[in-house]
Chain A
Amino acid sequence: MQGLQTNYLTPTGREEAWRFTPLARMGGLHDGTVVRSGESSLFLRTGLTSGVTFAQVAPDAIAPFSQSDDAVVLHARSEVTAISHLSIDKGITLAEPIYLGRKSVAGEYSRIKISLGVNAHAKVILENSGSTILGEDLEMELGAGASLTFISLQEWSADTVYSARHHAILDRDASLESIVVTLGGSLVRILPTVEFRGEGASVSLNGVYFASAGQHQEHRLHVDHLVPRAKSRVNYKGALTGDKAHTVWIGDVFIRAAAEGTDTYELNRNLLLSDGARADSVPNLEIETGEIVGAGHASTTGRFDDEQLFYLMSRGIESDDARRLVVRGFFAEIIGHIGAEDIQERLMTHIDTELSRVGA
């Protein structure tokens, strides 16, 4: 049974969902051949407060789960027997963010569920680091009127492979703000996906990525407007430098026939800092009803804006410093929203280091 399922699922690279991914570098996450220790890397950094629980639970205890046809998610679901479940009770408003971290585990499939009860409000920061091969199924479920800020940081070691689906399910009037930051890793493939189940819910999905020579960073967004009056905003910004730096951004937004009053806009900007890097950017909007508030997308990929550099340099600022200011500014728009000074500083320092390394 297991074997059959595995064969059936294994991507060949010709599938739409895999056509940009170098399967040979997936570390066996896509076909189940990854060597895993059986341990779970996820741990809670911060203490628990009243109304918050963090526990390992059997899948049956918190089913049902969302549908997925992603090979890595399906492997994770068929293997993992304990889900890391972070739960915030209804009506709870957390004053401080909850930090999740990783301890060192060489190879792993993982399942995480973050549940917010009705009218619960929380901020969760997932700090991913270390050297590993990790396939993950992460689900966030927001009750009616709940709000979640979810920040995931990819500060992986240079050899890490991380393939994950970060799936959000929103009930009526719930809201999600997510910030995905991808800097480290050899291959990072994240599927930030959204399923609106109740009217009036909203999401703001933001991301920044910086790919250096040889890195593959893929972000495939999928926002499904199934119900009326939901709102989605997507803003992902990336910079690339060095030979064979490759980024992929896919923005699939579906507005179903029932989704009247939908308001959606998605944006992806890529800054090419050198030759030899490649940014693929594919916005895709499918609309089945005309009764919407707005729907749009924009995608740009280009080099430095000459006018900006000229303006800065005309004030005496040297070319290298002007470029650094522009790139910092490019990322600051999103990183500045993380709201944790130490993290923001750490990420900007990382970007500065990358920039000075390539002499941009």
Chain B
Amino acid sequence: MSTLEIKNLQVSVDTEAGAKEILKGVDLTIRSGETHAVMGPNGSGKSTLAYSIAGHPKYKITGGSVTLDGVDLLEMTVDERARAGLFLAMQYPVEVPGVSVSNFLRTAATALRGEAPKLRTWVGEVKDAMNALNMDPAFAERNVNEGFSGGEKKRHEIMQLELLKPKIAILDETDSGLDVDALRIVSEGVNRAKAANDLGVLLITHYTRILRYIKPDFVHVFAAGRVVEEGGPELAEKLEESGYAEYVTQ
């Protein structure tokens, strides 16, 4: 049983005109097995929240706390946070030229498990994970995300989620750029990870489409750097119909 606890989180970025405050006090608690959907207009700070929790150097924490099972995540380096059990599926996964997917996955698995996975079981493990997401095994020999289509990048993220077995996963617009079939395949991957590891999920999305596959327990409306409303799955339906107007103008 794990708990990711975000309390009054305030974050700014450096701009040419000085520091710009983006998160203005975010409170969220995600426990193992729970799925929290976060929905909100473009530019409201959803990716900022995701990156700040994962430790991206661009974002400066100016207040509040983030803990995983009571341990301060903000004091940790990016890799330490991952080893503590955090995973971020990125909105825009990064291309790493010259580093093959298979080398990358093995290096990551070695770091997370504390020892190199046994070669003979590992090869099968990777093959299964790729098959499960309908990825051609040829991807293993390609460079990380290089030349991948938008949808292929997202599948690659969820394949890592299944392979690396975190406690808490943040999925930043994993559904955008996916065709109908890929959306189902990727959602099934997330659901398998939930079932297998009692994963807690923070799912950032613009559409209720993905929520038909991945059932949220809670829906949070995000606007102008904070959570402005919370509810159950029915809140997502309401947002789809009426948009964010009432939250943005308030």
Contact = CB atoms under 8 A, between A and B. Distances in A.
Interface of A: 306-308, 310-319, 321-322, 325-326, 328-333, 336
B143 interface: yes
Given A310-B57, A315-B160, A316-B83, A325 B107 contact: yes
A315 B82 contact: yes
Interface string B61-102: 000000000000000011101110001101001111111000
B56 interface: yes
**Chain B: number of interface residues, binned into ranges:** 20 to 34
A306 B56 CA distance: 9
B97 A325 contact: no
A332 B103 CA distance: 13
Contacts of B97: 329-330, 333
Nearest to B56: A310
Contacts of B87: 314
A326 B78 contact: no
Given A313-B79, A315-B111, A316-B108, A325 B96 contact: yes
Contact of B78 (A308, A310, A333): A310
Interface of B: 54-58, 77-79, 81-83, 87-88, 90, 93-99, 103-104, 107-108, 111-112, 143-144, 160, 164
Nearest to B114: A316
A328 B81 CA distance: 25
Q: Which 9 A-B pairs have the closest CB atoms?
A: A329-B98, A315-B108, A316-B82, A311-B94, A313-B78, A316-B111, A329-B99, A332-B98, A316-B112
A199 B143 CA distance: 36
A319 B111 CA distance: 11
Contact of B107 (A308, A311, A321): A321
Contacts of A332: 98-99
B202 to A, nearest CB: 15
Contacts of A333: 97-98
Contacts of A315: 82, 104, 108, 111-112, 160, 164
A152 B87 CA distance: 44
A321 B107 CA distance: 9
Contacts of A317: 79, 107-108, 111
Of B78, B87, B97, which is in contact with the most chain A CB atoms at under 10 Å from its CB?
B78
B111 A321 contact: yes
B249 to A, nearest CB: 35
24 contacts: A306-B57, A308-B95, A310-B55, A310-B57, A310-B94, A311-B90, A311-B144, A312-B96, A312-B104, A313-B77, A314-B79, A314-B81, A314-B82, A315-B111, A317-B79, A318-B79, A325-B103, A325-B107, A326-B99, A328-B99, A329-B97, A329-B99, A332-B99, A333-B97
A326 to B, nearest CB: 7
A314 B111 contact: no
B108 to A, nearest CB: 4
Given A316-B111, A316-B112, A319-B79, A328 B98 contact: yes
Q: Which of B79, B88, B164 has the most chain A CB atoms closer than 10 A to its own CB?
A: B79
A312 B104 CA distance: 8
Nearest to A306: B57
Residue from the set A321, A325, A331 with the largest chain B CB neighbour count within 10 Å:
A325
A228 to B, nearest CB: 33
A311 B143 CA distance: 14
Contacts of A321: 107, 111
B71 to A, nearest CB: 16
Contact of A325 (B77, B104, B164): B104
Given A306-B57, A321-B107, A325-B107, A314 B98 contact: no
A337 to B, nearest CB: 12
A317 B57 CA distance: 16
Nearest to B112: A316
Nearest to A317: B111
Contacts of A314: 54-55, 78-79, 81-82, 87-88, 90
Contacts of A329: 96-99, 143
